[in-house]
Amino acid sequence: MGGEMIVCGVDLKSSEARLVLVSVENNDPHLIPCKTKKLTLGDDKDSSAIKSFLQAIKTFAHENGVAVFAIKARAKGGQMGGGAISFKIETLFQLSDCDVVFVNATALSKFSKTNLGGIPDGVLKYQYDAYRCGVFQLAKAGRL
């Protein structure tokens, strides 16, 4: 199996990236406590804010040993489509020097109904989808 794999599940809502760190402990998903629960992009038209957000992602990944970001995919159009800012944030994660995978919302919904998809204590309500993205990726990578 190799060493510990730390996945950061990410759920994007408007200008905010909600983050949850997960790994595997005793063949089960393990929530890694972390003070940083979200990153917020200030003015998305301000290049210094964009660069600062990218640096925050890189620093977060480095400090927490993140192997991969698992981002909940959003629709590109329609009523449930993601906003322009959230797609910018997606791109910044892709520029972070970490691997990035996208988790299909339908697959995530099905996964949430499995035993692995349960939410442990310590995960805040707004972090549920981010947590599930991380665990989904661990399962997909054959770690669970």
Q: How confident is the model at residue 128 (pLDDT cuts 50, 70, 90)?
A: very high
Give the three-class secondary structure for 42.
coil
Residue 1 has pLDDT above 50, yes or no: no
Please report which residue ranges of 21-104 form alpha helices under DSSP H. Answer: 47-64, 84-94
Mean pLDDT of the chain: 92
Tell me: the pLDDT tens digits for 56-115?
999 999 999 999 999 999 877 666 556 789 999 999 999 999 999 999 999 999 999 988
* Side-chain-facing half-sphere of 129: CA atoms under 13 Å: 20
Alpha-carbon distance 29 to 131, whole Å?
10
The answer to whether 134 touches 9, Cβ cutoff 8 Å, is: yes
Q: Report which DSSP code applies to 125.
A: G
Residue-level pLDDT at 79: 60
pTM score > 0.85 for this model?
Answer: yes
